[in-house]
Chains A and B, each alone.
Chain A
Amino acid sequence: MKTPLVELRGIRKRFGPVVALDGADFELRAGEIHGLLGENGAGKTTLMNVLAGLYRADAGEVYLDGRPVQILEPRDAVRVGVGMVHQHFELVGHFSALENVVLGREGGGWLRRHRLRQEVEALMERVGLPVPLDRPVRELPVGVQQKVEILKALYRGARVLVLDEPTTLLTPQEVDSLFASLRTLVAAGVSVVFITHKLAEVLRTCDRITVMRRGRRVVTVSREEADARQLVEWMVGASPPPAAVREPAQPGSPVLELEGVRVVDPRGVPVLEDVTLAVRSGELVGVAGVSGNGQQALAGVVAGSVRPAAGVVRVGGRPVRRGGVADRMREGVLSIPEDRLRDGVLPRMSVAENIVLGRHRLHFPGVRYRPEVVRGLALRAIEQYRIVCPGPDAAAGQLSGGNLQKLIAARVFEGARERGARLLVAHNPTRGLDVPSTEFLHAQLLDFCRHGGGVLLISEDLDELMKLSDRITVLYRGRVVAEFPRVRFDRYAIGRAMAGGAA
């Protein structure tokens, strides 16, 4: 058998207590399109980041053309011909495509635009990736931007191209275009690794498919051998569903209704399309889906920080006021933000001062602000939520990610209680938390429902959703593609919907 072009053996990688790669293996043959399939957290991106020099493996070897190579930095990867296109592009938005492709390799001195253009045009022709070279890339559709990123890698001599979740933000037409381009690329001598969680895509384009789960390779099969059902089983595991924790709910009147909601990003690309869902009081509705399918926008629409381009949002039966988050809070909707550092914490202020954010006007309706009261609230929260910190006066920015999440949860839950809030929208609330903290948070969520509140739980953790939800709605590419009542929870079926398969 021919030696594989790229081989990764026994790669291990931890981030603190979290094991991202647990002895993972991977092989890429020359001239193939190889799909790397798995759920969130399976380790696919991490493994490829090791190959691309963004992470250094704790153990394991990398071979190119059968010879071992040391890839410690992105520069090394580029040198051996590995190029990676990430989910979030690294383009200079206001530069043209031509400038982005040649940046760093222009050849010094005067910009010989004519010659550079000729080189890039020749490249575009050879690999079948035509893009307009002169407009600022931020004006280009995402699919075209992606092609610019690919050209960038190829211009630097990449023989191995790794694409990380390339179809996340593409329209169906752009997806078709990309797949066609991949074929041409392979014909031009490039080998491709295609990281994705979407079944339909691997079955459509990849020559071979490797499934990863929990940081290891589960299996590698060729496309002919692959079967959708099998793949899903390998992806999510055939484990039995977790024991039901939730008593059947007696849902009351709707606290949240979304009808036909559409959200577009600043470029006009829809990120949520025709979303209709409802949460009743006492109900916990889970929203499943792999990250990047519209969850951020959904959370924003409900919390009041994003205005829908179309559709209706109703809280407690009445359409919401035009205002933003503060108004929505007054109407009884609170949210646990996903990006805790950017949106959730006041880093230089103390833990205590963070605890009271959003509730401060409730506790201090007048002019006076009492630190003793705040401190008391903080001490209680620290104990109840088991927030590990030097004390209530410590700067909140020093807390670890998990404790920060607990701080935010404490703030929101207590605030919800104080306000008599009706709806809580939580986006990945237990990410990075250890088991006891996760259990505690779950208990808080259920408690909120027991007291008549409604919860919209957006999560990438299917286990969590299956444990807590009365219903699970699946988001795929900004649309609701499936809904499962608790009695019909089926891990495989939900997983398939999340991966874009028909329900």
Chain B
Amino acid sequence: MTAGAAARGRGQGVWPYAGALVVALAVLGGLVAALGGDAAGALAGLFRASLGSAAGLGQTLNKTTPLLLGSLAVLLGLRAGVFNIGVDGQIYAGAVAATGVAFLLAGLPRGFAVPAVLLAGMAGGAVLGAIPGLLRARWGVSEIFVTVMLNFIAVFLVEYLSTGPWNDPTAGEAITRAIPPGATLPWLLPQAGAHAGVLLALGTALGVWALLYRTVFGYELRAAGDNPSAASLGGVPVARTVALALGASGALAGLAGAVEVSGFHYRLILGLSPGYGMMAILIAVLSRRHPLGAVAVSFGFAALVVGTDSLQRSVGLPSSAVFVVQAAVLLVLLAVEGLRRNPA
């Protein structure tokens, strides 16, 4: 859609987001109360932990990065009419590539090493995205299943590398050696512990927006996703476009993996992605597949993640509650939309 329509869409669309926020808080409060805790206090604590302190804000910004990049990946695929469920795997693939290149380029200054590492991450993710893309273009194989299987394969690869050849015996079981300092991302807000990755993610969001709405490829991608038959009759090479979209989608997720290694952990670890892939899907749908909407929703989800992490310590609410909250939000919105469109 054009910028004008997007703006108008956003204008009407503020209420669903506000509603989503309310639902999220309600579900969270409900869960805490069900466990016998103080719901109101917990919610206050959540805000404090994620947004109320410098350290908390820093963590929230850090977490926004992989969530935003991951949701952009899913969103790009959705616009082209395909479901990329393999964001987790692509994150790991990107992380592997990034780590490998980081080790390879040890000693090089940041100016060279960091871009190289990030590009390697994109390449790694792109490979994992291209596989389902090609299979779909050539043989009509559903990308849903292939991307999920590749998730598992990628995780095993990371497990192997982090416990085997790249393992750091002093650091722990499934943790690799640290990457050289030349390959690490610079700080954004050092006092808050936020690295520059979030700037990269924001830039990428703008880039995805520009790709979708200001390039011919983006136009054809959206047309293919809207009505492949009409697009094809309009001269759009649908199969090829969709395959490229999946590759690009993978690249974005791979970038997230590279950023996590290069900016946050400084190592490749097995738990690099605590379900970012799943959250990315929810974010992409909630943001109505619009890159700029994804920025806001990713930030909100990141705050939720950081906040519930802190609740785990204070109230004993397990961190998996965040998935329940996020999914519940989307389910409520889908229900409201469904009721509106299908009055009983």
Contact = CB atoms under 8 A, between A and B. Distances in A.
Contacts of A303: 233
Interface in A360-413: 360-361, 364, 366-371, 374-375, 392-394
Nearest to A328: B235
Interface SS of B by simple majority: helix
Contact of A371 (B2, B220, B222): B2
Contact of B214 (A335, A346, A361, A368): A368
A394 B215 CA distance: 21
Contacts of A375: 2, 4
A189 interface: no
A303 B235 CA distance: 12
A303 B213 CA distance: 29
Interface stretch (B36-44, B223-231, B252-260): B223-231
A125 B257 CA distance: 71
A349 B233 contact: no
Given A349-B226, A368-B214, A368-B215, A325 B1 contact: no
B226 A352 contact: no
A441 B207 CA distance: 41
Given A352-B2, A371-B213, A393-B5, A346 B232 contact: no
Nearest to B8: A393
Contacts of B229: 342-343
Contact of B233 (A337, A368, A393): A337
A357 B231 contact: yes
Contact of A369 (B1, B8, B218, B231): B218
B236 to A, nearest CB: 8
Contacts of A370: 214
A374 B215 CA distance: 12
Given A353-B2, A374-B2, A361 B227 contact: no
Contacts of B234: 357-358, 360
Given A353-B219, A358-B235, A344 B2 contact: no
A348 interface: yes
A345 interface: yes
B107 interface: no
Contacts of A348: 226
B237 interface: yes
A329 interface: yes
A367 B226 contact: no
A30 to B, nearest CB: 44
B9 to A, nearest CB: 10
A237 interface: no
Contacts of B8: 393
Contacts of A367: 215-217
Interface residues of A, number: 36
A328 B325 CA distance: 52
A430 interface: no
Contacts of B34: none
A369 B233 contact: no
A305 B233 contact: yes
A352 B237 CA distance: 21
Contacts of A364: 216
B242 to A, nearest CB: 15
Contacts of A337: 233
Interface residues of B, number: 27
A350 B230 CA distance: 14
Interface in A322-349: 324-326, 329, 335, 337, 342-349
A350 B233 contact: no
Nearest to B7: A393
Interface string B1-29: 11111001000000000000000000000
A352 B216 CA distance: 14
A35 to B, nearest CB: 38
A393 B1 contact: yes
B213 A369 contact: yes
Given A368-B214, A368-B215, A371-B2, A346 B230 contact: yes
Nearest to B2: A371
Contacts of A335: 233
A167 to B, nearest CB: 30
A357 B2 contact: no
A366 B231 CA distance: 19
Contact of B232 (A325, A345, A352): A325
Interface in B61-94: none
B123 to A, nearest CB: 21
A76 B86 CA distance: 51
Interface in A290-314: 303, 305
A305 B229 CA distance: 11
Contacts of B4: 375, 393
Nearest to B214: A369
A300 B235 CA distance: 15
Contact of B219 (A326, A347, A360): A360
A353 B216 CA distance: 11
Contacts of A366: 216
Given A353-B2, A368-B215, A393-B5, A346 B231 contact: yes
B227 A346 contact: yes
Contact of A346 (B215, B217, B226): B226
Contacts of B213: 369, 371
Nearest to B223: A346
A360 B216 contact: yes
A357 B1 contact: no
A326 B234 CA distance: 7
Contacts of B227: 342, 345-347
A344 B8 CA distance: 26
Contact of A357 (B5, B214, B217, B223): B223
A218 to B, nearest CB: 40
A361 B217 contact: no
Contacts of A374: 2
B82 to A, nearest CB: 16
Residue of A364, A392, A393 most packed against chain B (CB within 10 A): A393
Interface string B189-224: 000000000000000000000000111111110110
B210 to A, nearest CB: 9
Interface in A152-180: none
Nearest to B218: A369
A265 B235 CA distance: 24
A372 to B, nearest CB: 9
B215 to A, nearest CB: 5
A343 B2 contact: no
Contact of B237 (A326, A350, A393): A326
15 contacts: A305-B233, A342-B227, A342-B230, A346-B226, A346-B227, A353-B2, A353-B222, A353-B223, A357-B230, A366-B216, A367-B215, A367-B217, A369-B216, A369-B219, A393-B8
Given A349-B226, A393-B8, 8 more contacts: A326-B235, A345-B230, A360-B220, A361-B235, A367-B217, A368-B214, A368-B215, A371-B213
Q: Which 5 A-B pairs have the closest CB atoms?
A: A357-B234, A358-B234, A393-B5, A326-B235, A346-B226
Interface of A: 303, 305, 324-326, 329, 335, 337, 342-350, 352-353, 356-358, 360-361, 364, 366-371, 374-375, 392-394
Interface of B: 1-5, 8, 213-220, 222-223, 226-227, 229-237
